[in-house]
Amino acid sequence: MKNIHLRGARQLPQKRPGPVRRFVAGALAAALCVSSLQISAAVSLTQWGATALTYSLNFSELTQAPGESVGGSQQAAATIGSASAGSTTGLLGRGSAGASVEIPATGVSLPVLRARAESTMDDLFVSGAALGLQAYQFTGADATTLSLDVNLEGTVARSAESSDLTGLEVSVWIMSANAPVVFPAEPVTVTELVAQIIAEAISDPTGPFNPIITKLSWDAASTGTGIINRNGTLDFLLNNGDEFYLMAALSAGADGVGASALSWSTLTMAFDTTALQAASTVPLPPGVWLFATGLLGLLGAAKRRKA
């Protein structure tokens, strides 16, 4: 397990919605459903993996407590924190958080993501976050429209001291593997790979270097409070032999005494068709690498420095 230190005071979110670039903070249950004829986990693509992390921010002191991260590139599962209330893993007794990612070896190996966070202090934001990346090859007919159904389930409770950072947030990207993105010759973490992809997309959003085919984003404010059950669909066109990446990010965030965002045991996954070719996770290579950074670094919300 590696410690994560994210650089701080100038880049910390404030307890007001305006200047905050929303980090994927949320208790999400994501059922990712691909409706197509034939999909299999791509053998030629090797960039896939899972990571889970916890971290906390102190709004009053403008400081960030070191977080912890587990998982890595070409790892099929990652879990951090505890499902029981009152866990202090990585949060110095100020709250509790946890996250879990699994890339199953059956079906089309869609990432399964869970997260939770509970705050016990007014000016402290705690979060459990997860990231899953998987590669696929489409073997159906040319000009076929695929649909990815995303389902978010969980519960959110805000206190009088909570900001709109308390809640559930999710981002899902479909990215072409044929776009001219330079993949590093040496193995890198999934987080670093995704940071590179997003940087390319931001620098040239309409150009040939943007690998993002389509994306879905829900922030904590729009997701709301109470019992959450939200659905969305991503549609995209593929030809036979096309390779693509599916990346899903989620977290649970909470600030304010008694605030919580939970989705630890409500994740389900379902397909709307049985016409799916069986797929498996790409075989684990001899070398396995741990993540050295967190999702904040991935999304550009904070710069990284190695522990």
pLDDT in tens, 93-148: 567 888 888 888 777 778 888 888 887 777 678 888 888 877 777 777 888 888 88
φ, ψ (nearest 5 deg) of residue 298: -55, -45
- 114, 248 in Cβ contact below 8 A? no
What is the predicted pLDDT for the residue at 249?
A: 83
What is the predicted pLDDT for the residue at 258?
A: 76
What is the predicted pLDDT for the residue at 207?
A: 64
DSSP label of 14? P
- Distance set, CA 36 to CA 40, 41, 141, 194, 246 (Å): 11, 14, 10, 26, 15
Residue 221's pLDDT band (cuts 50, 70, 90) = confident
Q: Which of 76, 101, 120, 134 is nearest to 24 (CA)?
A: 101
Please indicate whether residue 75 or residue 43 has the higher confidence score (pLDDT): 75
Please indicate whether residue 15 or residue 154 has the higher confidence score (pLDDT): 154
Please indicate whether residue 304 or residue 202 has the higher confidence score (pLDDT): 202
Mean pLDDT, residues 216-229 taken together: 83
Give the range among 53-62, 181-190, 209-218 with minimum mean pLDDT.
181-190
Instruction: Assess whether pLDDT exceeds 50 at residue 270.
Output: no
Max mean pLDDT among 40-44, 51-55, 92-96, 261-265 falls in 51-55
- Return the sign of the alpha-carbon dihedral for residues 16, 87, 291, 73: negative
Max mean pLDDT among 4-13, 211-220, 263-272 falls in 211-220
> What is the average pLDDT value for the chain, to the nearest integer?
63
**Paired strand residues for 147:** 35, 235
For Cα atoms 67, 64, 162, give the angle at the middle one, nearest 5 degrees.
105
Mean pLDDT, residues 264-278 taken together: 38
b/e code 225-258 from CB counts within 10 Å (16+ = b): beebebeeebeeebeeebbbbbbbbbbbbbbbbe
Instruction: Assess whether pLDDT exceeds 70 at residue 283.
Output: no
Instruction: Assess whether pLDDT exceeds 70 at residue 245.
Output: yes
CA distance 139 to 117: 40
Instruction: Assess whether pLDDT exceeds 50 at residue 79.
Output: yes
**Paired strand residues for 186:** none
Q: Which of 269, 218, 2, 237 is nearest to 142 (CA)?
A: 237
What is the predicted pLDDT for the residue at 74?
A: 66
Max mean pLDDT among 89-93, 196-200, 242-246 falls in 242-246
